Amino acid sequence: MAASGGVTSSVPRVLTLWCPEWPVRAVAPIDGPLIVFDQHRVVAACAIAREAGVRTGDRKRVALRTCPNATVVPRDYVAEVQSFERVVSAVADIIPLVELLEPGSLCLDMRGPTRYFGGEHFVVDHVRSVVATQLGEEIPIGIGVADGRAASAIAARRSGFTGHQVIVEPGRTAAAFTTMSLRWFHAIGEMSIDLVELFERLGINTVSDLAALDERDVLGRFGLPGVRAYRVATGADERPLSSITPSQLPERERRFDEPLLTVTPVVFTARELASELVHELSIEGLVCTRMTVTAETEHSERSERHWYRSEGFTAAAIVDRVRWQLDSWVNEPSSVSAGVIVIRISITSVRPDDGVQHGFWGGASEADGRASRAVARLVTLCGPEGVRVPLPIGGRLPEDRYGWFPATVVDGDHHVDVLAPWPGSVVRPAPVIVPTSEVRIEVVNDRGESVGVSGRGEMTSDPVCVVIGGRSHRVVAWAGPWPLIERWWDERRRRRLARLQVVLEDGSAHLLAVEHQRWHLMGTHG
């Protein structure tokens, strides 16, 4: 009681447990570095990769450049939730009402446990020992206690890195985090990266810099998201208390006449319930931040988990959590012996919806969103090689200058740079059609002999006819030849060729090349 005694504050004391790099823990251990990605961004990396310089939030290409021999794994939420389940149940055995934040992170209200165990330190020790028994002593875990969820999440992050528990005394949040970077606010989901970067550009780098400002000024300049960040920084409650009593909060339940033996139809039902709930709350201008998902089987086996999300649950986010929870429940050995008969989603906490202000201009339009969804669907239909984006590479020949790359390896928000000038390339206009495989052609003079280019870069005679695909076309105009010697120092990639532009009698223009005394079609102005 020593820690919280005597201080009356509306902000609840919260303990957060955070397991660093949980997405990596959920993957079966392998030799060598391991990086976990989600949407082309690094979400977690093992110690070896971290040593090499891989950072969370790096783009995939950047990360692989830093650590080229790393094994790359896509994020698997279900596996993460499933492997975290034993930690959750171990903690829930000693302290009920555990709230899951995300796989690898949970929090709990300290009021009851502090009384029961006789002090915050004892609670932390108990939690640490039960988690260590589950995971093993060598896995680092972070435990932080502070006022409110956000502060305790930051405390847990800091504890995860230092290896010591972090307990912030009540009312001393700002003092405890003075030197911490605002990037932590992004890491715990309290601030968008754009806002963090805006603050940084304005010279507001640490928590104390932000806390030193005036709340009204922050509201005037940065709006509601800025004020939220400010409240976290000053240790005030990040959300004002709502006057709605829990009994008024909506709850949805669906009973199945026929027990369901697979997860998919249950999730499908949950989708319906979730959109009903979200719609009902949105009419009141509210968004759900905490909910309880309960599923029961015919044999009265029960899975109940509390989920928290500071930015609020959308219908999709609710469905995701239901699926994670059910998947990890049914995959656990000897936990389920019959079909599911009840699924229930209860909202336990709400806050006013700040809404999302769309950009006045710039930002993603409706067409952009539609296209990126279609790309995701096309990748599942045609495979990663079937959906490509055009990107500049750089070179002197049409086939080298630009290429089509699988959309999955390119960041969704890529912007195409302009190609640097390449001396020696044939300038605008570029051929529209560049054959994907070599097309052999013949170029002949008025006597029907094959035309060549001498070592001095001159035509041996005027080209009069071009034979493409067995058909002969008369040349009406031609220009060149333009010799090109590339990478003469490289045995395998060296090229020595001469290029020629011809206009044929049907009006079509072509770029031809002679290499090793043989002509091929390099491009067509189609």
Partner 1 sequence: MSLALESPHLQSAASLTQADSALPLSEAYAEILPHGLLRGQVVVCHGVAAYSIALGLVERAVTVGSWLAVVDLEQVSPEAIAEFGIPLHRVIGVTTGDDPANVLSAVFDGFDVVLIPAHRYRGALARRISQRIRAKGVTLIVIDDADEVGVRDAVSLGDVALIGSDMHWEGIGWGVGRLLARHLTVSATGRRSPRPLRSEMQLPAAVDVRVGQINDVASDVDDDIAGATVDDDEEYRWRLRVV
Near partner 1 by CB under 8 A, which window of 48-56, 152-160, 279-287, 472-480? 472-480
Question: Who contacts 2 (Cβ-Cβ below 8 Å, separation ≥6)?
Answer: 119
CA-CA distances (angstroms) from residue 29 to 25, 26, 35, 133, 138? 8, 9, 12, 19, 14
Tell me: does residue 523 bind partner 1 (CB under 8 A): yes
Instruction: Identify which of residues 339 and 424 has a Cβ nearer to partner 1 in the complex.
Output: 424
Tell me: does residue 470 bind partner 1 (CB under 8 A): no
Tell me: does residue 506 bind partner 1 (CB under 8 A): yes
Instruction: Identify which of residues 2 and 432 has a Cβ nearer to partner 1 in the complex.
Output: 432
What track of x and - describes contact with partner 1 for positions 477 through 496 (by CB under 8 A)? Answer: xxxx----------------
Tell me: does residue 40 bind partner 1 (CB under 8 A): no
Q: What is the per-residue burial (b if ≥16 Cβ within 10 Å, else e) of 436-464? A: eeeeebebbbeeeebbbbeeeeebeeebb
CB of 484 to partner 1, least distance (A): 14
CB of 440 to partner 1, least distance (A): 16
- Using CB atoms within 10 Å of the CB of residue 185, give its burial: 0 to 12 exposed, 13 to 18 middle, 19+ buried: buried
φ, ψ (nearest 5 deg) of residue 181: -70, 150
φ, ψ (nearest 5 deg) of residue 183: -60, -25
Gap between the Cα atoms of 255 and 344, Å rounded: 9
Q: Which of 243, 356, 361, 470 binds partner 1 (CB under 8 A)?
A: 361
Q: What is the separation, in whole angstroms, between the first and last Cα of the chain?
A: 81
What is the total count of residues that contact partner 1 (CB under 8 A)? 61
CB of 431 to partner 1, least distance (A): 6
Instruction: Identify which of residues 148 and 480 has a Cβ nearer to partner 1 in the complex.
Output: 480
CB of 353 to partner 1, least distance (A): 28
CB of 489 to partner 1, least distance (A): 26
Cα atoms in the Cβ-side hemisphere of radius 13 Å centred on 416 = 12
Residues forming beta bridges with residue 213, ordered by sequence position = none
Q: Which of 214, 367, 489, 516 binds partner 1 (CB under 8 A)?
A: 367
Tell me: does residue 224 bind partner 1 (CB under 8 A): no
Q: Which of 365, 454, 460, 472 binds partner 1 (CB under 8 A)?
A: 365
Looking only at residues 247 through 286 of this chain, which bind partner 1 when binding is defined by CB under 8 A?
A: none
What track of x and - describes contact with partner 1 for positions 427 through 446 (by CB under 8 A)? Answer: xxxxxxxxxx----------
Contact 25, 139 (CB under 8 A): yes
CB of 434 to partner 1, least distance (A): 4
Contact 105, 22 (CB under 8 A): yes
Near partner 1 by CB under 8 A, which window of 122-130, 168-176, 205-213, 504-512? 504-512
Q: Which of 7, 30, 371, 485 binds partner 1 (CB under 8 A)?
A: 371
CB of 462 to partner 1, least distance (A): 7
Tell me: does residue 415 bind partner 1 (CB under 8 A): yes
Tell me: does residue 373 bind partner 1 (CB under 8 A): yes
Q: How many CB atoms lie within 10 A of CB 60?
A: 18
Gap between the Cα atoms of 403 and 420, Å rounded: 15
Instruction: Say if residue 429 is preceded by a cis peptide, omega within 30 of 0.
Output: yes
Tell me: does residue 513 bind partner 1 (CB under 8 A): no
Which run of H or E residues covers position 368? helix 366-382
Tell me: does residue 522 bind partner 1 (CB under 8 A): no
Tell me: does residue 193 bind partner 1 (CB under 8 A): no
Question: Who contacts 158 (Cβ-Cβ below 8 Å, separation ≥6)?
Answer: 142, 144, 166, 180
CA-CA distances (angstroms) from residue 464 to 289, 450, 470, 475? 77, 10, 16, 5
Which residue has 């044929």 as its token pair? 504
Dihedral of the CA atoms 346, 350, 352, 358 (nearest 10)? -60
Tell me: does residue 33 bind partner 1 (CB under 8 A): no
Tell me: does residue 28 bind partner 1 (CB under 8 A): no
Amino acid letter for position 76? D
Q: Which of 54, 196, 509, 513 binds partner 1 (CB under 8 A)?
A: 509
Tell me: does residue 387 bind partner 1 (CB under 8 A): yes
Tell me: does residue 396 bind partner 1 (CB under 8 A): no
CB of 421 to partner 1, least distance (A): 12
Near partner 1 by CB under 8 A, which window of 13-21, 164-172, 342-350, 384-392? 384-392
Instruction: Identify which of residues 134 and 372 has a Cβ nearer to partner 1 in the complex.
Output: 372
Gap between the Cα atoms of 357 and 380, Å rounded: 32
CB of 524 to partner 1, least distance (A): 8
Beta-strand runs (E) in 178-327: 251-260, 286-297, 302-308
CB of 449 to partner 1, least distance (A): 17
Question: Which token pair is 176?
Answer: 């405890």
Near partner 1 by CB under 8 A, which window of 112-120, 286-294, 381-389, 483-491? 381-389
Gap between the Cα atoms of 101 and 85, Å rounded: 13
φ, ψ (nearest 5 deg) of residue 504: -95, 170
Instruction: Identify which of residues 218 and 441 has a Cβ nearer to partner 1 in the complex.
Output: 441
Q: In the complex, which residues of this chain contact partner 1 (CB under 8 A)?
A: 361-362, 365, 367-368, 370-375, 377-378, 381-383, 385-392, 398, 401-404, 407, 414-416, 418-419, 426-436, 459, 462, 477-480, 501, 503, 506-509, 523, 525-526
